[in-house]
């Protein structure tokens, strides 16, 4: 087999990123847009020593797990990986992917519990970040193509609530009317960089944050008038964020309020939460409730002191307290984002939680500070970013806090597997783990795991 060959291939597996895999003359061939059970014709575009990459030319025999693609941006946009596959099969792939990572990376041969499906597979996202670009027809918005900063036009994303589509059309109308330019990464010129939208599913409140390459938002009053006129009371917050840096980071350090509050509210597990622009909040509220309930099920009556080392705005810790009973329990949270910590304190106060403390700082440094106070938690909860936990943090948890129970919530099976191995080497055994699908149609999956000392 060589580059530019056309081959007939049977797809026998799917990668965690949703790419079909078949074998030809003993070599693995990866072909995007295929499903297990497909027989396809593929054009070879890359040949390496251990694998090849093909481009799909024709589906000769379709798989029974295949479904009709319902999005024109699929295969161009870098968001969805499974729009061509039935949801039941997507769940099987994700569950298998978590197990494969745990076995291959973590050296743990323990099968996961059944995967929990999302209550909804469309319109579930409460947050979107739209990059702004320009073509011969003026500015446009959408999402980045895979592994690039090329913007794929997408006026209607099936993962977003309808109010996002309406809002973005209004912002484009406002920008066109006022001849506001789009930011160009190469030249560093132009005004509009991104638009960040957040939506409270329970409250119906919408936050709009316009990210600009300038010190002010031009024609801010005009934008406020348009959005208020069309969105009415749903518009709870209009802000602009200043980001003049040559960076891939979306938000700059300064955010200015134009209208409403600098937060919106939402509710999970019976607890109301304030959410600011930079705060972490699970994008699928309904599925997040299921995830937090699984974590809460690990808490027993004698688990009195709970430490949450990536607490964000307090969603996990406060939800668990509310689900398991607040009486005679205390919560200590650590978070590096200042606005999130302020939200967490306010959320605890508004919810009437008594024994809570929230500390601003990096999880590792915060843990060291708490260690110096001789705090001995019964349970430690970690919900780290995609990169997982720092090894030093895991050693501090195991050696200095030595809780009888560690609950690990992960958004990346590979780093969960790596950290599981580190924990096992430091005296903690994985008891069970459950995938939860917070991200239907995408390659991502959440997992909640229980470790005992």
Please give the positions annotated as active site. 411
What residues have CB less than 8 Å from 297, skipping those under 6 apart?
none
Q: 83-117 burial, b for 16+ CB within 10 Å, e for fewer?
A: bbbeeebbbbbbbbbbbebbeebbebeeebeebbb
Task: Please tell me whether residue 448 adopts helix, strand or coil conformation.
Answer: strand
Task: Please tell me whether residue 61 adopts helix, strand or coil conformation.
Answer: strand
Within 10 A of 349 (CB to CB), how many other CB atoms are there? Answer: 11
Euclidean distance between CA atoms 299 and 273, whole angstroms: 22
Q: 395: burial class by Cβ within 10 Å (0-12, 13-18, 19+)?
A: middle
Beta-carbon-side half-sphere exposure of residue 133 (alpha carbons within 13 Å): 18
Euclidean distance between CA atoms 225 and 436, whole angstroms: 41
Name which of 433, 453, 445, 423 is nearest 111 in CA terms. Answer: 433
What residues have CB less than 8 Å from 318, skipping those under 6 apart?
271, 273, 331, 344, 347, 348, 351, 353, 356
Euclidean distance between CA atoms 242 and 222, whole angstroms: 19
What residues have CB less than 8 Å from 233, skipping those under 6 apart?
none
Local structure of residue 374 (DSSP, 8 states): T
The answer to whether 309 and 363 are in contact (CB under 8 A) is: yes
Task: Please tell me whether residue 211 adopts helix, strand or coil conformation.
Answer: strand
Euclidean distance between CA atoms 173 and 358, whole angstroms: 42
The answer to whether 451 and 423 are in contact (CB under 8 A) is: yes
Residue with tokens 């941006």: 73
Euclidean distance between CA atoms 361 and 22, whole angstroms: 47
Residue with tokens 């909640």: 448
Euclidean distance between CA atoms 343 and 254, whole angstroms: 17
Within 10 A of 161 (CB to CB), how many other CB atoms are there? Answer: 19
């Amino acid at each position: 087999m060589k580059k530019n060959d056309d081959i007939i291939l049977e797809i026998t597996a799917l990668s965690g990123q949703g790419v079909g895999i078949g074998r030809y003359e003993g070599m693995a061939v990866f072909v995007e847009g295929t499903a297990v059970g497909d027989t396809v014709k593929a054009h070879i575009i890359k040949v390496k020593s251990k694998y090849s990459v093909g481009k799909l030319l024709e589906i000769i025999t379709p798989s029974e797990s295949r479904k009709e693609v319902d999005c024109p941006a699929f295969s161009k946009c870098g968001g969805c990986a499974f729009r061509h596959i039935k949801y039941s099969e997507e769940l099987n792939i994700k569950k298998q992917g978590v197990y494969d990572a745990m076995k291959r990376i973590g050296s743990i041969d323990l099968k996961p519990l059944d995967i929990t499906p999302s209550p909804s597979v469309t319109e579930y996202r409460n947050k979107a970040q739209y990059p702004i670009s320009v073509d011969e027809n003026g500015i446009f918005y959408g999402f980045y193509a895979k592994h690039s900063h090329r913007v794929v036009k997408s006026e209607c994303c099936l993962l977003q609530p309808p109010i996002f589509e309406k809002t973005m059309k209004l912002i484009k109308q406002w920008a066109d009317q006022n001849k506001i330019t789009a930011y160009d990464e190469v030249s560093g010129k132009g005004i509009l960089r991104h638009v960040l939208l957040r939506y409270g599913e329970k409250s119906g409140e919408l936050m709009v944050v316009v990210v600009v390459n300038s010190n002010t938002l031009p024609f801010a009053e005009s934008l406020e008038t348009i959005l208020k006129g069309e969105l009415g009371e749903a518009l709870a917050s209009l802000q602009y964020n200043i980001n003049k840096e040559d960076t891939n980071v979306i938000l700059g350090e300064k955010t200015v309020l134009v209208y409403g509050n600098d937060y919106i509210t939402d509710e999970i597990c019976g607890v109301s939460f304030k959410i600011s622009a930079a705060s972490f909040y699970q994008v699928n509220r309904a599925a997040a409730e299921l995830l937090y309930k699984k974590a809460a099920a690990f808490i027993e009556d004698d688990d009195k002191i709970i430490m949450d080392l990536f607490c964000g705005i307090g969603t996990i810790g406060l939800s668990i307290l509310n689900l398991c009973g607040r009486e005679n329990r205390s919560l200590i949270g650590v978070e590096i984002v200042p606005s999130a910590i302020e939200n967490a304190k306010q959320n605890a106060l508004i919810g009437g939680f008594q024994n809570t403390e929230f500390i601003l700082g990096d999880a590792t440094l915060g843990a060291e500070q708490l260690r110096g106070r001789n705090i001995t938690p019964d349970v430690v909860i970690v919900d780290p970013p995609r990169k997982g936990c720092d090894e030093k943090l895991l050693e501090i948890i195991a050696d200095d806090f030595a809780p009888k129970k560690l609950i690990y919530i992960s958004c990346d099976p590979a780093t969960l597997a790596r950290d599981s191995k580190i924990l096992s080497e430091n005296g903690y055994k994985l008891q069970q783990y459950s995938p939860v699908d917070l991200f239907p149609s995408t390659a991502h999956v959440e997992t909640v795991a229980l470790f005992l000392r």
